Amino acid sequence: MTEYDYWKIFPRMPRKVTIGDITIRDGFQHLEKFISTRAKIFYLEELIFAGCRDIEVTNLGNPYLMPQFSDAEELLAHLRSDRFKKRCERKGINYDEITLTAITIREPSVDRAIRLKEKGVGPDRVLMMVSTEEEHHFANSGCTLPVYWQEAERSIKKCREAGIKMCGTVSTIWGSPIGGATDMKDAVEFTKRWLEIGAHDIEHADHDGSASAPDVYRYFSMILDEIPNPDLHLAHFHETKRMASASVLAALQAGIQRFEATLGGLGGQPANFLDDCPVKGTGEYYYDDPRYVGLVCLEDTLVQIDEMGIEHGYDVDRILWLGRQLERTVGKRLRSEAAINGRTLTEGHMKFARPGLSRLKEKMGEASDQKLPKDWGETAVLPEHCRP
């Protein structure tokens, strides 16, 4: 007989997950509109109050290239303030459980993070990134892979001395928007290299929506066979073909316990235009139509995981409300369907019921819970050609 217990079919699948939010960094970086510092602070606070404990705050790269993050230090300083800590305390949140991450793709950004740490407002964790496909890596970093690996090794040593964790990201695992197909074995080796030089954890990234569910399952199974501690691994999926939720499910089935997402599915390359002015960003966009760029939606991912009975620590309804507010902030309809349609409610939506059913059943002489004609058998008898 077929096994129906999902957790027996996929014995590595977790009962509890951690979902980090990266809206304020990855989500906002692709917007061609500056999001006010006040709004960023609002969403950072509300996401934490709604249950987020791993949150990307900002990008510490050159604000000339990415002016969306010209307020990076102000955001970090706010989250380090006594006022915010007291607000967390009043809401029963253990401030020490919150991890603040800032992106530091190059060594000068790492140095900036360390200076901020010395001032008492720095991040707990920073992130550097390699792509297994070198053209994509060069577009993001401006240098070759061998040079970057040496830079990352130096940066990790500096971070360790400063008390900052380093996340090493591996990108183009399932394909590159520039170079095309890639080999997943390269990403497994790059993961080992990050850990060899001292990275605290690894973000496994599909930065352009290339992943398919079978390959996501294969890859994360390969990773956990080689490096079985699930705390070391974080799944990051972009959405360009409406397949990211399938990738999330496949990663769960493989045993991945850590994910990240953005409200509304925002995200993508750093913008090359902001408000009324062209900016450098990371150059030309990879896609002709920016509507088809972004990450997996936090709202939809939470609903999916919540309805699977997997523990996640969020107030789902509060997140759905936040998603609707973000549409007003951004000024357009975003990707989340759950933010609009809500969750599947066990009590249903009786406001949509048509009047008269109970009277009709009484008139027909039917019991209120009767679903079949009285003279039918208790169970169906299948025709012989349909039987197992």
Indicate if the pLDDT at residue 347 is higher than 90: no
Read off the pLDDT of each residue in 87-114 and give the average, rounded to a whole number: 97
Collapse the DSSP code of 317 into the 3-class scheme (helix H, G, I; strand E, B; otherwise coil) and give the result.
Answer: helix
Of 202, 167, 170, 198, give the one whose Cα is nearest residue 186: 170
Indicate if the pLDDT at residue 341 is higher than 80: yes
pTM: 0.93
Place 283 in a pLDDT band, splitting at 50, 70 and 90.
Answer: confident
Of 106, 54, 103, give the one whose Cα is nearest residue 231: 54
| 21, 261 contact by CB (below 8 A) | yes
Of 79, 77, 82, 85, give the one whose Cα is nearest residue 55: 79
Question: Would you state the pLDDT for residue 302?
Answer: 97
- Distances in Å between the Cα of 187 and the Cα atoms of 207, 212, 295 are 13, 16, 20
For the chain, which residues make up each domain, given as ranges? 12-341
Q: How far apart are CA 287 and CA 268, in angstroms?
A: 10
289 versus 78: the higher-pLDDT residue is 78
Indicate if the pLDDT at residue 158 is higher than 90: yes
Indicate if the pLDDT at residue 279 is higher than 80: yes
Indicate if the pLDDT at residue 320 is higher than 90: yes
Question: Would you state the pLDDT for residue 265?
Answer: 95
Question: Would you state the pLDDT for residue 344?
Answer: 82
Of 351, 352, 369, give the one whose Cα is nearest residue 361: 369
| 156, 189 contact by CB (below 8 A) | no
Indicate if the pLDDT at residue 324 is higher than 90: yes
Q: How far apart are CA 57 and CA 99, in angstroms?
A: 10
Q: How far apart are CA 232 and CA 215, in angstroms?
A: 20
Place 133 in a pLDDT band, splitting at 50, 70 and 90.
Answer: very high
Question: Would you state the pLDDT for residue 226?
Answer: 97
Question: Would you state the pLDDT for residue 152?
Answer: 98
Which residues contact residue 384 at a Cβ distance below 8 angstroms, ignoring those fewer than 6 apart?
none
Question: Would you state the pLDDT for residue 383?
Answer: 96
Place 352 in a pLDDT band, splitting at 50, 70 and 90.
Answer: confident
Both tokens assigned to 34? 């500056």
- For domain 12-341, the question of CATH label 3.20.20.70 is answered with yes
Of 228, 152, 230, give the one whose Cα is nearest residue 197: 152
331 versus 345: the higher-pLDDT residue is 331
Question: Would you state the pLDDT for residue 56?
Answer: 98
Indicate if the pLDDT at residue 342 is higher than 90: no
Lowest-confidence region among 72-76, 157-161, 265-269: 265-269
Q: What is the pLDDT of residues 172-228, one digit of tens each?
A: 999 998 999 999 999 999 999 999 999 999 999 998 888 999 999 999 999 999 999
Place 282 in a pLDDT band, splitting at 50, 70 and 90.
Answer: confident
Question: Would you state the pLDDT for residue 240?
Answer: 83
Read off the pLDDT of each residue in 254-277 and give the average, rounded to a whole number: 95
| Element containing residue 30 per DSSP (H, E) | none
Place 134 in a pLDDT band, splitting at 50, 70 and 90.
Answer: very high
Note the maximum CA span of the chain.
Answer: 82
Q: Hey, what amino acid is at 276?
A: D
Mean pLDDT of the chain: 95
Question: Would you state the pLDDT for residue 299?
Answer: 97
Tell me which residue has tokens 């061998």. 146
Indicate if the pLDDT at residue 111 is higher than 80: yes
